[in-house]
Amino acid sequence: MTADLPTIRLRPKSKPQAIRHGFPWVFADELVTDRRTRSIAPGSFALLEDAERRPLGLVTVNPESKIIARIMDPDPQAQVDRDWIAARLRRALALRERLFDAPFYRLVHAEADGLPGTIIDRFGDAAVIQPNAAWAERMAGDIADALQAVTGVSAVILNGQGRARGLEGLPERMELLAGGLSGPVEVPMNGAVYLADLMGGQKTGLFYDQRPNHAFAQRLAKGARVLDVFSHVGGFGLAALAAGAVHATCVDGSAAALELAQGGARAMGAESRLAIRQGDAFAQMEALAAEGARFDLVICDPPAFAPSKPALEAGLRAYERVAKLAAPLVAPGGYLALCSCSHAADLAAFRNASARGIGRGGRRMQLLHTGQAGPDHPTLPQLAETGYLKALFFRLDG
C-alpha cells in the first residue's frame, strides 16, 4: 500500500517533534502545499515526512480543511483497512467494558482512541457513528462492518450533522447503515432512565460526557427542588429525580427533547415530579425570577457558546450572563452547577466568567467541585480539544 501513496512534507520551520510526541494534527500552514498536495482527494492517505524527509507516519489528508493532515498511524507501513479499524475498536471496547457494567457509553472518542475525527456512541444493541473527518466519511461502511463484528451491535446509524463536518467540507446526512430502530432507545444511567432518539435527536441522541457530573449533582439533589436549564432530554433533572429530588423542572428550547425527558420520567415512575418549560433559556430564567421561584439546586448546561477562538469573547459573555440569571434562582445555602462544552474557553476563563456572573447576580459563592467528562471520553494530553467539558459546582450564600 505505502509504495502507492503520495508523500507530503512539513515546512522547514514546522516542529516535527510535536508529532513525534503525539500531537495528531498538521495544519495547512505547516505543510508544503504544492499543486500535487492540493490535488490529493479528501480522505485519502499519504506518508508524512519532516523537512529533512524523515518519515513521521501515515496520515489522512484533506486539502479542504485547515487540519490538512491527521495522524492515522506512526508506522508508515500501516495499512488502514477493516482489520486496522477493528483493532482500534477492540482496544476501545476493552477499556469501556472495564469501566462500565452495561453497554451504554462513548465507544470511540476520536483522536484520543486512535480514530481521528470519529465519534461512536453505543446504546446497547445500537451504535451511532459521527464521521467528522473525510477519511471516516469515505470508509463509513468499513467502520460499520468492523463495529458490528467487534461489538455485536445490530443497528448502526450514521449521523452526519454538526459544525465539525462543515469545517471538513462534508455534507450533512443521516443514514441507517445496518439493522433497524423501532423508536427512541431507553438508556439507564446513574439510576435514571433516558430516552435517546438516535435518528432525530441532537448529536448522537444523548450526552454521555456528563455522567460523572450527573452523579455529583445527585449528592446534592436528595429532597431538593431542582431546576435543569438547557436540559436536553432531562440530563441533570432525571438524575436528580432518581436520587430523590422532590421535584425537578426542565427548561429547553426543543419541544421534542422535553417530550423525551417526560418519557424518561414516565419510565422511572417519576412523571408526577417533573415539570417542563419550553422556550429560550435566558427568557425562562428571567420569567422564573419574576415569579419569585427558588430552587435548592440549579444546573445550567448550555451549548458551546465559544466553539472557536474567534467566538471566545462573546462566548464568555454568554456564560457570564447564564450565571448572572441563574444565581438569583438559587435558594439561600443552595447549589448552582454551571457547565461549558466549549474547548476554546479553558477552565480558568470559564471559572472567571462564572464567578463574575454569580457576583453580578448578587450572590456570594464557594466553589465545591470541578468536574469533567467521564472516562469514556479520554483526553489526549497533547490535544486540548479532547478535554473540552467543564462543570463547576458552587454553594451560594446570601
Q: Bridge partners of 128?
A: 121, 157
Task: Give one DSSP letter per residue of 318-350, joined into a string.
Answer: HHHHHHHHHGGGEEEEEEEEEEE--TTS-HHHH
What is the Cα–Cα distance from 142 to 124, expressed in whole angstroms?
A: 20
Rg (CA), the chain: 22
| 175-179: long-range pairs with CB below 8 Å, 24+ | 177/129, 177/140, 177/141, 177/144, 178/144, 178/148, 178/154, 179/126, 179/153, 179/154, 179/155
C-alpha cell of 380? Answer: 489526549
What is the Cα–Cα distance from 63 to 41, expressed in whole angstroms?
A: 8
Neighbours of 11 (CB within 10 A): 12
Interhelix angle 312-326/347-360, nearest 10 degrees? 40
Mapped onto helix, strand or coil, the DSSP state of residue 297 is strand
What is the Cα–Cα distance from 178 to 159, expressed in whole angstroms?
A: 13
State the DSSP H helix or E strand holding residue 9, giving kind and residue range, or none if neither: strand 7-9
What is the Cα–Cα distance from 50 to 71, expressed in whole angstroms?
A: 13
User: Residues near 52 by Cβ (< 8 Å), separated by ≥ 6?
Assistant: none
What is the Cα–Cα distance from 294 to 336, expressed in whole angstroms?
A: 12
What is the Cα–Cα distance from 101 to 37, expressed in whole angstroms?
A: 46
Amino acid at 359: G
Catalytic residue among 250, 300, 339, 341: 341
Residue 341 among the catalytic residues = yes
Q: Residue 353, by phi and psi: left (phi above 0), alpha (psi -120 to 50) or beta? A: alpha
- Please give the positions annotated as active site: 341
